[in-house]
Amino acid sequence: MEKVQRPIGLSIAGFDPCGGAGILADIKTFECLEVYGLAITTALTLQSETFFEKLQWRTNEELQYEIEFLFHHYPIKAVKIGIIKDNIMLQSILSVIPKKDIFIVWDPVISSSTSKSIFETPSLSQIKNLLKDIDIITPNAKEACVLSDKINIKEVQEPETEASLVAQNIAAQIAHRLL
């Protein structure tokens, strides 16, 4: 009888020693979904649920080498990108992921749950150019405001309307990517 393999997913994210976010949380989620999880660490953090102590970034060259290595040795079907330093790191990661038959999710982490600023926010035009290679993004409210060119959540006059516009924008990006 032929052995059925589980699909393989790759998390490219930070290491949160508490396991509440980053590659540890992603691997737990993969396992619940019966996906075999691989991981590449973009950053090492030292944090708790209430305090953010330290953040150490890995280099783009290290990330590219590791992504290429894993894609060479495993039939990866999906990639989930988490904490990244800036749009240059995102571009660097996307440039080495094969473009064919790989589903890419980006969870843009602008700041930690303890409000430590993480992502060096680029101009909206720089980010929009990279979104063409991403199948879906999963921003929270604050991240959605940044990605929709709002300065902060308080600027949003009609949250339901804004959320709908952001969702439509995301849906249009996905449709464009799939067609």
CATH value at residue 85: 3.40.1190.20
What would the pLDDT profile of 9-22 be if each residue is shown by its tens digit? 999 999 887 777 88
87 pLDDT more than 50? yes
- Could you give the number of structural domains in the chain? 2
CA dist., res. 83 & res. 110, Å (int): 8
Residue 155 shares a structural domain with residue 86: no
* pLDDT confidence band for 178 (50 / 70 / 90): very low
Residue 143 to residues 9, 16, 18, 103, Cα–Cα distance (Å): 24, 20, 22, 21
For residues 114 and 151, state if they share a domain. Answer: no
Same domain for 156 and 122? no
Per-residue pLDDT reduced to its tens digit, 112-128: 555 556 666 655 567 77
Shared domain for 33 and 108, answered yes or no, is: yes
Q: Report residue 159 as tokens.
A: 């949250």
Predicted TM-score of the model (pTM) = 0.77
| Shared domain check, 99 and 161 | no
